[in-house]
Structure 1
Amino acid sequence: MTDRATNTASQDQHPWLVRIPEIFSGISSPILRQMGALSSTRLGLDYYLIKTANPAAVRQSEAAKFARWNLPMEHTWPCNPQKMDGFIEKAAQTLLKKFGSRNPQGIFIGTLQPTSPDKYYKGLASNLRGRVLQLFPKLPAATVEEQSPEAETLFCLVGKEGLFCGMQSPRASNGLYAGGSKYIDQDSPDTISRAGAKIAEALHFLLLYRPPMQEGSHWIELGACPGGMTSELLARNQRVTAIDRAPLDKRLDGRPGLRFFLEDVATFQPRAGTTYDALLCDMNGPPEESIEQVIRLSRFLKKGGLVVFTLKLPRVDSLEEPNELFRLIVGMSISAGLRLFAQTHLTYNRHELTMFFETV
C-alpha cells in the first residue's frame, strides 16, 4: 500500500469512545460491528475505544440503543496518571491549547471506573477540572444542569489507562455527565427499592429533551408496588395515582399527593374527565401486554403528555431478539399515537431499556 493510500485509510477511521453497560458485554462485539467499528480496545469497565469508518452508525444504528454514552475522540493521552509527575498541569495546558478556541459551553471530567471504591481517580478528575477552569475563560455552563442539550461540551474521562477527551453536545453523547447520566446512590435505609433510582435517573436524562416536570404534575403509575418510584416522584412534589394488585410499602401511607388503587392494572378505569401529565410503567411480565395497558391508558394523557416505559428484555444473548421486540413495541405505540423520542439504558436497569414517548 502506498503512503497516500495509507493516509487515506487512516483519515477514514474515526476514533470514538463508546460506553456499553457491563450487562451487555456479552454482545459487545456485534454492537460494535453495527457501529462500524474496525477495531476496539477495552478501557475501564464499560468503555470501548474504537475506530469507525461510519461515525453516524455510532448514534443511529439499531445497536446504538445498547450504548449508554459516546464521544468522538479528539485528544487521547495513553498514560498512567498516578505515576506521572505534573499530570494535572500538563493535561490542563494541553486541553487549553487544543480546545480553548472552540468555546465549549462547559467542561466536565469523569472517570473510566465511576463505581470504583478507589477515590484516587475521582479526586484526580475533580482536581483536573478545577485547574482547567482556571485556564479557560468563564464558561456558560458551570454545572451539569446548566448545559444546553444541543451546544457542544468538552467531556473528558480519566483512568489508569490515560486521558480521553472530545467535544460533542450532551444530546448527541446521550448524557449530561461525562460518561452518561446521573448516578443515584441508593444506600439510604429509607430507600424502598432501587426503582426509585431508575426514575430519578430517567428524569435527569429527560433534561436532554424536555424541561423538568412542573411541581404538582399528575402521574399515573402502572404496577407501582412496592413504591420506590412512587416515593421518588412524591419527593419531587409530583402527584401520583398508583395502581397495583399488591399493597405499597407502609412508609407511603398517608403521603400527600398519593392516590392508590389496589387492583389489577388491566381492569383499572380512570373516572370520566380525568387527565394526567405523565404515565409511568415499570411492570414485569411480557412487554407486549404491558404496552397494551400503556396504550389503553395513554388516552387520558394531556396533549404532549409523557410516557416512561421500561422495556423488559429477554436474556440478551444476541441483537436479533431484543431488536425485534423493540421494533414491535415501537410499532404498537406509533399506531396508538405515541411518539418515541428517546431511549437509554440506565444505571439500575438490568436486561431492560427505558423508553420515552409523548402523545401527539
Structure 2
Amino acid sequence: MNKEDAEKAASLTEPKEEFPWLIRISRHFEALSSEIIEGLESTLVKRLGEEYALIKCRNTGRLVASDAAHFVRWNLPMDHAWPCNPQKMEGFIEKAAQTLHEKFSGKGLQGVFVGILDPSARDGYYKALATNLRGRTLQLFEDEAKGFRAVEEQDANKPSLFCMVGKEGLFCGVQSPRDSNGFYPGGTKFISQNAPHTISRAGAKIAEALHYLPLHRPVPPDGGHWLELGACPGGMSSELLERGYEVTAIDRAPLDERLDKHRGLHFIKADVAVFEPSARASFDALLCDMNGETRVALTQVIRLSKNLKPGGLVVFTLKTAGVESYAEINGHFKAAFDQAVTGWLKLVAVTHLTYNRNEFTMFFERREGVEPRQGKGQGPGGHW
C-alpha cells in the first residue's frame, strides 16, 4: 500500500467530528425519536424539557436534507451550554446575561431571543425567567440592541442568538431563523384558540402556518383570494377572513352559522371532486386540510391549482393517521411529494406545527408557465 492509499484508509477509520445540537421532536412522534435521531446520523446525549433533545450530530446536513429532517420541528447548534438548576442558582440572570454578552457581542446578530424548554409548566417561573433574562441581556448589548429586530421582523437568512432555558439549564446558539426552522426560540408563534372569531382548532393551524411561511417566501398579499377545499366547519376560513382575505370555501356540509353572510366569503356547497371554477377564476392561494386518502385529496389540489396565479401558494396538510412506523410515514411523504411534483407543484417547505397532530404542513408553489397534469413524476432526490 502506497502512502496515499494508507492515508485514505486511515481517514475512513477515523471518527467523524461530532457537533452538539439541540433539536425538537413533537410528542406526537415521541415513539419514533430513536429512529429519527439515527436518521440524522446522530446520537442522543440527553432529553430536555417537554420535547427537546441534546444530540451529537456527525453530519449537520442531515438536519435539513434527510428522511428524518421533516420530523425536527426546530434545531440549534450548541454554541454555549450551562447545565444547572436556575431556581437554585443565586444571581442566575445576571451571571447568564454577562456570559452571553461576553461571548456573543460583536457577532453581527440581528436579535436576541429566549424561550423555555417546557412551555407546559404551570407555575410560570421559567416564562418569567426567560423574559427577564432577555431584558437584562439586551441592556448589556446597549448600542447593538438599537439595531435588533423584533421576532417576526427578522431577516430569515441572518444570524440571531437563540437561548432556551429550563430546569436543566441554559442552552444557546447562533443561527438564522430559516436554518433553525422558526422565527421564535423553539419554533413557531403560540396561537390562542380563544379568540372571538375562532371556530375550530384548524383556525390556529393556518394562523401558525402563516407566521411560519415568511421563512421561505412572502405570504399572499393583503386582500388576496384563497380557495379552500373541504372547508367545513370553517375554522380556517374564519381565520383567513379575519386577516382580510377573500375566501371561496367548498364543502358538501354547511359552514358554521357564525360565518353566514360574512363579508369576503363565497361558500359553495358541493363535493370538491365535482367543483369546477369558472375559466376566469383566479386565486392567490389554495388551502387543503381535508381528511381521507392523501392521493385523492392531492388529485383535487393539482386539478384546481390551474386556477392559481403563477407562483400561487398551496398549503396542504399531509395526514398520517393510521400510518404509524417511521418507514411508513416516510413512504407516505415520498408518495405525496412525487404526486405533487408530477402535478407541477414545487415544494417550498414542510414542517410539523404546534397545532399539527400526526400530520405535516406542506407548502407548494405553482410552477410558472405550466399546466397541472398527472403522470409519472420524479422523486425528491434524497431531499427531505
TM-score (norm 2): 0.90
Aligned to 2:65: 60
Indicate yes or no: 2:116 matched with 1:105: no
Indicate yes or no: 2:347 matched with 1:351: no
Asked whether the 8 Å contact 1:26–1:317 carries over to 2, the reply is no
The one-letter amino acid of 2:338's match is G
Aligned to 2:79: 74
Aligned to 1:31: 36
1:116: how far off?
2.5
2:163 counterpart SS class: strand
How well do the aligned residues superpose, as a CA RMSD in angstroms? 1.6
1:319: how far off?
1.4
Aligned to 1:267: 274
Indicate yes or no: 2:47 matched with 1:42: yes
| CA spacing shift, 1:104–1:299, aligned 2, 3 Å | same
1:207: how far off?
1.2
Asked whether the 8 Å contact 1:105–1:139 carries over to 2, the reply is no
**After alignment, is 275-284 or 38-47 more displaced?**
38-47
CA distance in 1, matches of 2:185, 2:138: 16
Asked whether the 8 Å contact 2:226–2:286 carries over to 1, the reply is yes
The one-letter amino acid of 1:116's match is A
**After alignment, is 8-17 or 29-38 more displaced?**
8-17
Aligned to 2:190: 183
Residue deviations 1:5-59, cap 9 Å, x none?
A: 9xx9898110000000000000000000011112331101100000111111122
CA distance in 2, matches of 1:128, 1:291: 46
| CA spacing shift, 1:252–1:26, aligned 2, 3 Å | same
The one-letter amino acid of 1:236's match is R
Asked whether the 8 Å contact 2:220–2:285 carries over to 1, the reply is no
User: Between Structure 1 and Structure 2, how many residues are aligned?
Assistant: 354
CA distance in 1, matches of 2:25, 2:322: 16
CA distance in 2, matches of 1:226, 1:323: 30
Percent identity for Structure 1 against Structure 2: 58
CA distance in 1, matches of 2:327, 2:174: 32
* Superposition map of 1:113-262 within 5 A: 113-136=118-141, 137-188=144-195, 190-262=197-269
Asked whether the 8 Å contact 2:318–2:359 carries over to 1, the reply is yes
CA distance in 2, matches of 1:144, 1:176: 6
Asked whether the 8 Å contact 2:193–2:204 carries over to 1, the reply is yes
**After alignment, is 134-143 or 62-71 more displaced?**
134-143
1:109 counterpart SS class: strand
1:299 counterpart SS class: helix
Asked whether the 8 Å contact 1:24–1:316 carries over to 2, the reply is no
CA distance in 2, matches of 1:83, 1:77: 14
1:61: how far off?
1.4
CA distance in 2, matches of 1:9, 1:194: 50
**After alignment, is 208-217 or 257-266 more displaced?**
208-217
TM-score (norm 1): 0.95
Asked whether the 8 Å contact 1:104–1:139 carries over to 2, the reply is no
1:139: how far off?
4.9
Aligned to 1:302: 309
Asked whether the 8 Å contact 1:110–1:125 carries over to 2, the reply is yes
Residue deviations 1:125-168, cap 9 Å, x none?
A: 00000001011122534311110000011000000000000000
